[in-house]
């Protein structure tokens, strides 16, 4: 495996060129959360960009961070990718990261004695890890009562319209069958 990182450079975010092929959209909630993290923790990860022949830095990863902090000098990993390779990385970088699964035991250990640095992040963490349980939902957390479900043998008959459904229902009812009308 090759190391494609040429250098780490600090650049004012507004001087970076957003990739015209960036396919990620960032809703207000995500933008607000990112601003909150950057304001309380700061930059702890680098953006990724490639340098064009004219010296411009075109973003591959980090569009949201650059967008919410345009006047900040941000860490940028400069990579030696051509335009085709940059597009490929742009397409797969975030989706591969999103494939990660959650280890609930590790999350529990991480959350022990944890305190968020601000209310926005605290609410997000509570929602993300299902920590906030409203009082009226406490009953739903109790052990479910045992319910006996009888074996049912059913047939679903597809009808072209409501009239045919009614006729089929009436015919089966006349034949002594127990029926219900259901629309799916």
Domains of the chain and any CATH numbers: 5-98 (3.90.1530.10), 104-133 (no CATH), 151-184 (no CATH)
CA distance 142 to 130: 16
Q: What is the mean pLDDT of residues 94-112?
A: 88
Q: What is the mean pLDDT of residues 144-156?
A: 68
| Whole-Å CA distances, 61 to 58, 83, 87, 110 | 9, 14, 11, 27
Strands of the 57-61 sheet, one edge to the other: 5-12, 73-79, 47-51, 57-61
Q: What is the mean pLDDT of residues 42-70?
A: 96
Question: 């004695």: which residue's tokens?
Answer: 113
CA distance 41 to 60: 23
CA dihedral 148, 150, 151, 152 (to 10 degrees): -130
Residue 48 in this model has a pLDDT that exceeds 90: yes
Q: What is the mean pLDDT of residues 106-126?
A: 86
Higher local confidence (pLDDT), 8 or 115? 8
pLDDT at 148: 65
- pTM for the predicted model, two decimal places: 0.68
pLDDT at 144: 55
pLDDT band at 178 (very low <50, low <70, confident <90, very high): confident
Q: What is the mean pLDDT of residues 107-136?
A: 78
CA distance 29 to 111: 23
pLDDT at 137: 47
CB within 8 Å of 75: residues ≥ 6 apart: 8, 9, 10, 43, 45, 46, 47
pLDDT at 115: 85
């Amino acid at each position: 495996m090759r190391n494609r990182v040429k250098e780490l450079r600090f650049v004012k975010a507004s001087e970076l060129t957003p990739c015209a092929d960036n396919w990620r959209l960032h809703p207000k909630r995500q933008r607000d959360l990112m601003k909150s993290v950057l304001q309380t923790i700061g930059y702890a990860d680098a953006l990724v960009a490639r340098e064009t022949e004219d010296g411009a830095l075109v973003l591959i990863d980090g569009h949201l961070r650059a967008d919410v902090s345009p006047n900040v000098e941000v860490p940028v990993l400069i990579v030696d990718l051509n335009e085709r390779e940059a597009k490929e990385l742009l397409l797969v970088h975030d989706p591969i990261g999103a494939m990660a699964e959650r280890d609930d035991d590790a999350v529990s250990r991480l959350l022990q004695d944890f305190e968020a640095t601000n209310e926005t992040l605290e609410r997000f963490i509570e929602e993300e890890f299902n920590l906030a349980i409203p009082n009226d939902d406490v009953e739903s957390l109790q052990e479910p009562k045992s319910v006996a479900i009888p074996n049912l043998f059913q047939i679903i008959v597809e009808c072209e319209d409501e009239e045919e459904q009614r006729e089929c229902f009436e015919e089966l009812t006349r034949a002594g069958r127990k029926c219900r009308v259901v629309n799916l």
